[in-house]
Amino acid sequence: MTDPPRSAFRLDNCSIERTLSVLGEKWTFLVLREAFAGVRRFADIQANTGAPRQVLSARLARLVDEGTLRKVPYQEPGQRQRDEYRLTDKGRELFPILVALLHWGDRYLADPEGPSLLVTHRDCGAPVTLELRCAEGHEVGGPRETVALPGPGSRVRGTA
């Protein structure tokens, strides 16, 4: 028995599309870059990203609403209370995505001198790499070594 063709399934509940609706633009990824670097305060994030104030405010609010960042109040002596932005567990799980984007950019878009940033393991100093593996531990070299099958949430076209 063969699997039904991809065209038989609706894509209105696609996880990639839903993820992009939360993360799919430049400023969001730059905010996450700063969060992973330990930058927590609005003014510092704005200075490092160059994001317009309103854009940054909207992106931070969206990331908080989505549960990838959380607000933590702080107050400098003599100043009003403000919020820091810290990664949640959900937000920290985005780290491999940022590393993958970094590696791709290093390979195809870096300056002739090389990458501007190296991610290394804190304990030993070795460069961090990404590997795609199946649940049995086999390395997956690319898309031709995979098959996309309907999951439990798939919906056949023509059904509600």
Reported as a single tens digit per residue, the pLDDT across 37-79 is 999 999 999 999 999 999 999 999 999 999 999 999 999 899 9
Looking at residue 34, its pLDDT comes to: 98
Tell me whether strands 155-156 and 82-87 are parallel, antiparallel or unpaired: unpaired
Amino acid at 33: R
* pLDDT confidence band for 6 (50 / 70 / 90): low
Please enumerate in sequence order all residues whose Cβ is within 8 A of that of 56, keeping only pairs 6 or more positions apart, or say none: 27, 31, 42, 45, 46, 49
Q: Phi-psi category of 50—alpha, beta or left, where left has phi over 0 and alpha has psi -120 to 50?
A: left
Q: Which fold has domain 6-116?
A: Arc Repressor Mutant, subunit A (1.10.10)
Mean pLDDT of 14-31: 92
User: Would you tell me how many other CB atoms lie within 10 Å of the CB of residue 48?
Assistant: 14
- Whether residue 160 has pLDDT greater than 70: no
Tens of pLDDT, residues 72-129: 999 989 999 999 999 999 999 999 999 999 999 999 999 999 999 999 999 999 999 9
Q: How many angstroms separate the CA atoms of 15 and 24, rounded?
A: 13
User: Would you tell me how many other CB atoms lie within 10 Å of the CB of residue 144?
Assistant: 7
Amino acid at 117: L
Q: How many angstroms separate the CA atoms of 8 and 11, rounded?
A: 10
Hey, what are 78's tokens?
């003599």
* pLDDT confidence band for 35 (50 / 70 / 90): very high
